[in-house]
Structure 1
Amino acid sequence: MAKSYKNTTKNELYKADTVINRKDAKLVLANFLWVIFALVVGGFAGALQTFVRSGYFELPFNIGYYQILTLHGVILALVLTFFFIVGFQTAVVSRAMGSLTDGERKSGWIGFWLMTIGTLMAAVMIATNQASVLYTFYAPLKAHGIFYVGLTLVIVGTWFATGAQTKRYFRWKKENPGQKTPAIAYFAVINNVMWYVCNIGIATSALTQLIPWSFGLIDTVNVKLTRTLFWYFGHALVYFWLLPAYMVWYSILPKIIGVKGFSDKLARLSFVLFLFFSIPVGIHHQLVEPGIDAFWKGLQVVLTFMVIVPSLITAFSLFASFETFGRKNGATGLFDWFKKLPWNDSRFVLQFVGMLFFVPGGIGGIINASGQMNQVVHNTMWVVGHFHITVGTPVVLTYFAAMMFLLPHLVGGRMTKLTNSLGLWLAYTWALGMGIMSFAMHMAGIKGAPRRSTFSEYGGHEVAQEWISYQLLQAIGGSFLLIAIIIAFFAFFLSLRTPKTDVVEEFPIARFMDDGDAPLKWVENWRLLIIITIFLVVIAYTVPISQIFTENIPGSPGFKAW
Structure 2
Amino acid sequence: METTLINRKDAKLSLAHLYVGFIAVLLGGIAGLLQTFVRSGAITLPAGIGYYQLLTAHGVLLALVFTTYFIIGFLYSGISKTTGTLAEGPRKLGWAGYYVMTTGTVITTIMILTNDASVLYTFYAPLQASPWFYIGLALVVIGSWISGAGMFRQYRNWKKANPGQLSPLFSFMAVMTMLLWLIATLGVAATVVLQLIPWSFGWVDTINVLLSRTLFWYFGHPLVYFWLLPAYICWYVIIPKIIGGKIFSDSLARLSFVLFLLFSIPVGFHHQLLESGVSHTWKFIQVTLTFMVIVPSLMTAFSLFATFELSGRQKGARGLFGWVKKLPWKDARFFAPFMGMLIFIPAGAGGIINASNQLNQVIHNTLWVTGHFHLTVATSVALTFFGIAYWLIPHLTGRTLTKKINLLANIQTIIWVVGMAMMSGAMHTVGLLGAPRRTAYTTYGDYPDALGWIPYEVAMAVGGSFLFIGILVLIYIVVHLSFFAPKGVEAYPIGEVADQAERTPTILENWKLWIGVCIALILFAYTIPIMEIIENAPPGSPGFRLW
- TM-score calculated relative to the size of structure 1: 0.94
Give RMSD over aligned pairs: 1.5
Read off the aligned partner of 1:459 and give its amino acid letter.
Answer: G
1:542 is matched with which residue?
527
The answer to whether the Cα contact below 8 Å between 1:264 and 1:515 also exists between their aligned partners in 2 is no
1:412 pairs, out of 368, 373, 398, with: 398
1:219 is matched with which residue?
205
Query: Structure 2 matches for 1:409-488, cutoff 5 A?
Result: 409-456=395-442, 459=445, 461-488=447-474
1:528 has 2:513 as partner: yes
1:270 has 2:256 as partner: yes
Between the aligned partners of 2:324 and 2:504, the Cα distance in structure 1 is: 33
CA-CA distance at 1:329 after TM superposition: 2.5
Read off the aligned partner of 1:50 and give its amino acid letter.
Answer: T
Q: Any runs of at least 4 consecutive aligned residues in structure 1 with deviations exceeding 6 A, and if so which?
A: none
CA-CA distance at 1:150 after TM superposition: 0.4
1:160 is matched with which residue?
146
CA-CA distance at 1:473 after TM superposition: 0.4
Change (3 A) 1:53 1:516: closer
Read off the aligned partner of 1:557 and give its amino acid letter.
Answer: P
The answer to whether the Cα contact below 8 Å between 2:96 and 2:143 also exists between their aligned partners in 1 is yes
Query: Structure 2 matches for 1:120-135, cutoff 5 A?
Result: 120-135=106-121
Change (3 A) 1:480 1:302: same
1:14 is matched with which residue?
none
2:359 is matched with which residue?
373
CA-CA distance at 1:340 after TM superposition: 2.2
Read off the aligned partner of 2:493 and give its amino acid letter.
Answer: P
1:557 is matched with which residue?
538
Aligned residues: 540
Question: How far does the alpha carbon of each residue in 1:491-528 deviate from its partner, in whole angstroms, 9 at most, with x for none?
Answer: 10111125564x51110100112587544221111111
Question: How far does the alpha carbon of each residue in 1:453-474 deviate from its partner, in whole angstroms, 9 at most, with x for none?
Answer: 1114761654221111110100
Name the SS of the counterpart of 1:179 in structure 2.
coil
The answer to whether the Cα contact below 8 Å between 1:382 and 1:442 also exists between their aligned partners in 2 is yes
2:282 pairs, out of 287, 291, 296, with: 296
1:66 has 2:47 as partner: no
Between the aligned partners of 1:90 and 1:78, the Cα distance in structure 2 is: 18
Read off the aligned partner of 1:497 and give its amino acid letter.
Answer: F
Read off the aligned partner of 1:505 and give its amino acid letter.
Answer: E
Between the aligned partners of 2:534 and 2:195, the Cα distance in structure 1 is: 15
The answer to whether the Cα contact below 8 Å between 2:108 and 2:134 also exists between their aligned partners in 1 is yes
Identical aligned residues as a percent: 54
1:348 pairs, out of 312, 328, 334, with: 334
Read off the aligned partner of 1:402 and give its amino acid letter.
Answer: I
Read off the aligned partner of 1:302 and give its amino acid letter.
Answer: T
Read off the aligned partner of 2:515 and give its amino acid letter.
Answer: I
Gap runs ≥5 in structure 1: 4-17
Between the aligned partners of 1:82 and 1:277, the Cα distance in structure 2 is: 21
- TM-score calculated relative to the size of structure 2: 0.96
Gap runs ≥5 in structure 2: 541-547
2:378 is matched with which residue?
392
1:336 is matched with which residue?
322
Read off the aligned partner of 1:527 and give its amino acid letter.
Answer: K
Name the SS of the counterpart of 2:531 in structure 1.
helix
1:11 is matched with which residue?
none
Change (3 A) 1:178 1:516: farther
Change (3 A) 1:146 1:462: closer
CA-CA distance at 1:339 after TM superposition: 2.3
1:506 is matched with which residue?
491
Question: How far does the alpha carbon of each residue in 1:194-248 deviate from its partner, in whole angstroms, 9 at most, with x for none?
Answer: 1111122112111110010011111111000000000001111111111000000
Between the aligned partners of 1:45 and 1:329, the Cα distance in structure 2 is: 46
Change (3 A) 1:377 1:126: same
The answer to whether the Cα contact below 8 Å between 1:408 and 1:498 also exists between their aligned partners in 2 is no
Query: Structure 2 matches for 1:18-29, cutoff 5 A?
Result: 18-29=4-15
Read off the aligned partner of 1:339 and give its amino acid letter.
Answer: K
Which piece of structure 1 moves more, 134-143 or 313-322? 134-143
1:357 is matched with which residue?
343
1:113 pairs, out of 78, 99, 105, with: 99
